Amino acid sequence: MFVVSLLLASIFPIQIVPSAERNRPGANGHLSGKQGQVLWIDVPISQPKAKVSGLFLKRKIPFFPHGDTHFAGMVGIDMEDPPGMQELSITVHSDSGSDHLSYSVQIIKEDYSVQHLTLPKNTVDLDAKTLQRVQKEKKELAEAFHHIGTRPLWDGPFLEPVNGKVTGVFGSRRVINGQTRKPHSGEDIAAPKGTPVQAINKGIVAKTVDHFFSGKGVVLDHGVGLFSMYFHLSEVDVTSGQTIQKGEALGKVGATGRATGPHLHWGIHLNGSRINPYALTALPIAN
């Protein structure tokens, strides 16, 4: 099992401050996490019909009922969020009015690896037609994240999608021919071609794709702004709109798209943030 001790998610119970201090940034306390991590936020609520919403770095954070007296939300710290102190603002709407909570979140810089490569120019630079295709596919993928479900679809803890060796680490960056490339936004797991890839949790197929870089792939919607992605598949065994159970096979490992060998690229998109997939498997979600 691949273990990263620095990717442990945390639970932060939030206490409402009954004073004029409520509007001061950070009045309700302080949280911290590294780039790529997930913060699980627990808000005690006295009125069951209340509605809770959050805002972090201009990203909307949906909250959902968690038991009879609590709401919960997941705040993703994007892999490139600026280190330093940021505010998490939470609003609780109820029959008696609105209450505002403010937490200071210390974003800690992660130490990502950098790899320098020199490759033939014709294998790196894209021609105009291919570049146009790539830009179109990037927009198509972004559109898959627009739907924000009001309730979580997952069922218990999250799983790894396939067993294998991690060959491409989240956040690592390549410098090719002196040009800095975008950081690696997922985990690459090497496995034999044809190995079944399982859904990390229950969800709805938001989109299936066949893209230039990522090849054949599946995007699963797990509700409340959480999406998982599975790329470079040799086969896709699901269709858009289909409900998938946790552990159910959705495709097979392959090397489609720009891939040097059979592996799975596993990515997570959480309310506009790119997080380390292994941060999800560390969340303390009960069965």
CB 196 within 8 A of CB 213: no
pLDDT of res. 233:
98
- Encoding tokens for residue 286? 């009960």
Query: CA-CA distance, 93 to 126, in Å (whole number)?
Result: 50
* Percent of the chain surpassing pLDDT 90: 66
**24: pLDDT confidence band, cut at 50, 70 and 90?**
confident
212-243 burial by CB neighbour count: b if 16+ within 10 A, else e?
ebbbbbbbbbbbbbbbbbbbbbbbbbbeeeee
Query: CA-CA distance, 234 to 256, in Å (whole number)?
Result: 6
Query: CA-CA distance, 268 to 271, in Å (whole number)?
Result: 10
pLDDT of res. 255:
95
* Percent of the chain surpassing pLDDT 70: 90
Instruction: State mean pLDDT over 69-98.
Output: 92
pLDDT of res. 210:
96
Instruction: State mean pLDDT over 16-35.
Output: 70
pLDDT of res. 10:
40
- CA quadruple 234, 240, 246, 248: dihedral, nearest 10: -40
Give me the sign of the Cα torsion angle 212, 216, 222, 228: negative
pLDDT of res. 175:
84
- At 49-68, the pLDDT tens digits run 889 999 999 999 999 998 88
Compute how many other C-beta atoms are within 10 angstroms of the C-beta atom of residue 114: 10
pLDDT of res. 6:
28
- CA quadruple 121, 116, 257, 193: dihedral, nearest 10: 130
> Burial level of 107, CB count in 10 A (0-12/13-18/19+)?
buried
pLDDT exceeds cutoff 50 at 15: no
Radius of gyration of the chain (CA): 20
Query: CA-CA distance, 225 to 261, in Å (whole number)?
Result: 31
- At 190-234, the pLDDT tens digits run 999 999 999 999 999 999 999 999 999 999 999 999 999 999 999
Residue 198 CA: distances (Å) to CA of 152, 237, 257, 283: 19, 11, 20, 19
pLDDT of res. 186:
93
Instruction: State mean pLDDT over 263-282.
Output: 95
Q: Which amino acid appears at position 182 of this protein?
A: K
| The length of the chain, given as a count of residues | 287
pLDDT of res. 174:
80
Residue 161 CA: distances (Å) to CA of 153, 241, 280: 17, 20, 12
Q: Please give the backbone phi and psi of residue 238, each rounded to the nearest 5 degrees, phi first.
A: -135, 170
Candidate from 9-18, 42-51, 249-258 with smallest mean pLDDT: 9-18
pLDDT exceeds cutoff 50 at 11: no
- At 106-124, the pLDDT tens digits run 999 999 988 776 767 766 7
pLDDT exceeds cutoff 70 at 156: yes
Please count the CA atoms within 13 angstroms of the CA of 17 that sit on its side-chain side. 16
Mean pLDDT for the chain overall: 87
